[in-house]
Amino acid sequence: MYSMEFVVFKMFIIALSLMGSVVNSKETSEFKLPTNFKPVSYRLDVTTHLDDKFMFEGVVDIKMTCIEATDTIVLHSYSLDIDTKSVVVANGGENVVPVGSVAFDPKKELMYVKSTENFKPGDEYVLTIPFTGNITDDLVGYYKSSYVDNENNQTRWLAVTQFEPADARRAFPCFDEPAYKATFKIRLGHKKGYTSISNMKMMKQTPIPSQPDYVFDEFEESVPMSTYLVAYMVSDFAYIESDTRDDEVKFRIIARKDAADQTELAKNAGPLVLKYYEDYFDEKFPLSKQDMVAIPDFSAGAMENWGLVTYRETALLIDPDVATIDNVHRVAEVIAHELAHQWFGNLVTMKWWTDLWLNEGFATYVAARGVDFLYPEWNSFQIETVQNFLRVLDLDSLQSSHPVSVAVGHPDEIAQIFDTISYTKGSFLLHMMNTFLGEDTFKQGIRNYINKHKFSNAEQDDLWNSLTEEAHRQGTLDKNLTVKLIMDTWTLQTGYPVLKVIRDYSADTVTLSQERFLTFKSNGSDNKSCWWIPLTMTTSMEADFNQTKAKSWLNCENNNLTIPLAKDNEWVIYNMQMAGLFRVLYDTRNWMGIVSTLNDPNEYDTIHTLNRVQLIDDSFSFSQIGDLDYGITFQLLNYLKHEKEYAPWLAALGGLGPINNLLKRTPNQGLFQNYMQRMLSAVYSRFRDMTVELNSFEEIRFKNLVTAEACRHRIKDCTEQALDLFSKWMKTTDPDKNNILPRELKPVIYCQAIKYGGVDEWDFLWERYQRSNVGSEKAKLLSALGCSSETWLLNRYLNWSLDNSIIRKQDAISVFYSVARSDIGFYVAKDFLYRKIADISEYFQPRGDRVGSYVKAIGSQMKTKEELDEIQSFINRSSSYLKGADLTTKQTIETVKINTEWTTKFDHKIINHLV
């Protein structure tokens, strides 16, 4: 699954954290099914009623083997109506086994079918359960979505599934855990005039005698798969086929017929990426077809259902006339992510959600390679590495973060670990392994793992074993070491290390040690944690940053390592090209040597781009916790006046963001604004003209970044250009067809026009939103409408966000973020959250984790003792509305404490460096 949380929060400047930790997880087994039965196959009939009553009816036959003697079958069922008298168990399909009782435990989402006699180990049984249920608008289970047909202006309905992580049980009774793989034979009943699709190819259509207007579509039997990957949809969508040879997988892109012209990129990219993965994994895609569907209402970014991948419209559709390069990148990235899951997740599935990162970390890592394959000229793999590195180090420095491999019990907990740790940290750790094992060993180890566990389930240790065997075979890892020994230190404990580098300039030595990096040291430093750190380094004399493969390790037995270092080295730098996930803290003299080289316009680029990124980010972080004087950080930042590359600027502006955040709404905000104007002046002049369009991926992103910052910090020319261009656009005839704004800078221009405009500008942009047929454009417009300085407009906008008939439920959080991030909007959004928490909670049921995003958006901007008390009090009195969001709220409180401590300690010191 491609998580929307982090797509949205990436746009939200001040993120210190992105989702919660898992704490005091109840014993997992309490919420897991007993192991008495193993399902073998399902026969599932579902008839869908749209247009009138929005409900479904069906029957499921589950063939299963008895493993241990018992008199009770326990499986999952939730929110379904089941006539208990019609539940039947047969032995061998013929002899009916007497059912004594059928009971339900709604809290645990379980169904119990108790017999009057014992089931026998080794025997096969068939459990038949008829059921009915409502097609809700909850965006989970089997739910409804709608769109307006442009031809006749009528609302059209569709029904589609979203079962990950644990919502198949809302659509049919089943063994709803990833380890219970089985085959599925699905028949979908629907009214004539609609079409249906499922994981497999359709075989035939037959009439339903009892319902003359209805037909049954029967699909091929599936390969063995987990219930969370089962998918089906009933709609009147259009089908666009890719050009494929006879022997290749048949690809179809499916969407509203009004959006069929936005499928070209997906139609071309899908088959190319699938073929790339077949080669990369050395394993053919096991199905004959692959459908990719754009859904108007969708809670995540996308979902990797086998043979039927579902997407939010913004993640699959591209209108070439309006799409920005970021839109193209995102669609390519999400397609690559979901298709990577066909191997990692679908073919080989984690045994339990503890190892979710095996799915999501891998899909994120391999997707970056897939995009690099599609667009080699973009250099996107390096940019992805930078973004992942910065994002993980930020979030994972909190006490309340969680391990990559994390114990989960209740289904509420599962939803909360679809976060930056599982996705991004998981991905970066794979990048780190690839670097220290080498590409050949890593790739072959992965291939062996997939071949060994295909159509089955695996755990983290299975992956470690495959990689270790291959590394020993190829001689790329010392025979005394195992991947498990190294990597368990990275996946089973929370956080990451700081490598401390202290030089003894008289003895010509350097001493290395490690401890956990924490932004907020509540009980002193964490001395228990210890990692196997791959060591790579260079000096000012060598300046060779290409040796990224570790020659030695700092480990837990040898945590104080002293090695010789020639005295004439101005500096030593560790972690070549950010190959490892850790920060590096040098002594002051070494830092000053680095600062000196960076500030020399002829020498700064002798330090590799990726290491310049790490030096910038590390210096901010060490200054934030008091381990490095802010004076050194600001001296280092001076070098940016001659920095010409995007990635270091991304790191610098990202590091300055939290300072901006903490000085916002204070008397010193103006000082910071003046500092930013001076800092940006040279680089802004390079990109000043908004109407000049660039071609290279990095240059476009660079211009977008700099222009957004220039306008945010009120560089007059930036705002004037934006308002002038917007004013001209408002005066054009047919502004929907004639959007004269430079496409890459539309988000900046929209926001400036709404911020400095009034109701006319707001209404004009709202009308564009209502008329747009392009998902990515609608997302930009929604984000910009939150930039208003009119409090009544913002209040109305927030009220609209909780009305699904005005703004889709999937977009409500984006609207809240867009309001909360501005100076005025912060107060409006905070007041809205406090007043409307009951409504917000009810609106997002059953997804409590969504409500946590609202709290996080406000809390991450708070920075005083009074605000800490205020939000803590709000969380305490709203606890009943924050069920399922406890992990996020815990992290939010820690973030406010960090902000408060930082403000108390440092804001007066920082002021001296801004003048």
C-alpha distances (whole Å) from 193 to each of 157, 189, 196, 235, 761 are 12, 12, 10, 9, 42
Residue with tokens 């929060």: 9
C-alpha distances (whole Å) from 524 to each of 87, 521, 559, 893 are 59, 5, 19, 19
337 is an annotated ligand-binding site residue: yes
Of these residues, 164, 338, 384, 777, which one is catalytic? 338
How far apart are the C-alpha atoms of 832 and 809, rounded to whole Å?
A: 17
Contacts of 151 (CB under 8 A, 6+ apart): 258
How far apart are the C-alpha atoms of 701 and 714, rounded to whole Å?
A: 20
341 is an annotated ligand-binding site residue: yes
DSSP, res 627: S
How far apart are the C-alpha atoms of 668 and 501, rounded to whole Å?
A: 35
How far apart are the C-alpha atoms of 89 and 92, rounded to whole Å?
A: 10
431 is an annotated ligand-binding site residue: no
Please state at what angle helix 356-374 crosses helix 325-341, rounded to 10 degrees. 130
| CA 235 to the chain's CA centroid | 28
Judge contact between 660 and 673, C-beta under 8 A. no
CB burial of residue 549 (10 Å; 0-12, 13-18, 19+): middle
Judge contact between 397 and 898, C-beta under 8 A. no
How far apart are the C-alpha atoms of 324 and 775, rounded to whole Å?
A: 12
CB burial of residue 601 (10 Å; 0-12, 13-18, 19+): exposed
Contacts of 735 (CB under 8 A, 6+ apart): 729, 764, 768
Tokens of 695: 């071609």
- The backbone torsions φ and ψ at residue 191, rounded to the nearest 5 degrees and listed phi first, read -70, 145
What is the number of other CB atoms lying within 10 angstroms of the CB of residue 605?
16
E strand residue ranges, 390-491: 456-458
Judge contact between 516 and 533, C-beta under 8 A. no
Written as one string, the DSSP assignment of 124-179 is EEEEEEEEEEE-BSSSSEEEEEEEEETTTTEEEEEEEEE-TTTTGGGTS-B--STT
Angle, CA 710 vertex, CA 709 and CA 712 arms, to 5°: 60
- State the maximum Cα–Cα separation within the chain, in Å, rounded to a whole number: 93
338 is annotated as an active-site residue: yes
What is the number of other CB atoms lying within 10 angstroms of the CB of residue 107?
8
| CA 773 to the chain's CA centroid | 25
Judge contact between 499 and 583, C-beta under 8 A. yes
CB burial of residue 519 (10 Å; 0-12, 13-18, 19+): buried
How far apart are the C-alpha atoms of 602 and 781, rounded to whole Å?
A: 43
E strand residue ranges, 483-525: 497-504, 509-516
DSSP, res 256: -
How far apart are the C-alpha atoms of 209 and 153, rounded to whole Å?
A: 33
Comparing CA positions, the residue from 419, 412, 377 lying closest to residue 394 is 419
Active-site residue list:
338
Binding residues for Zn(2+): 337, 341, 360
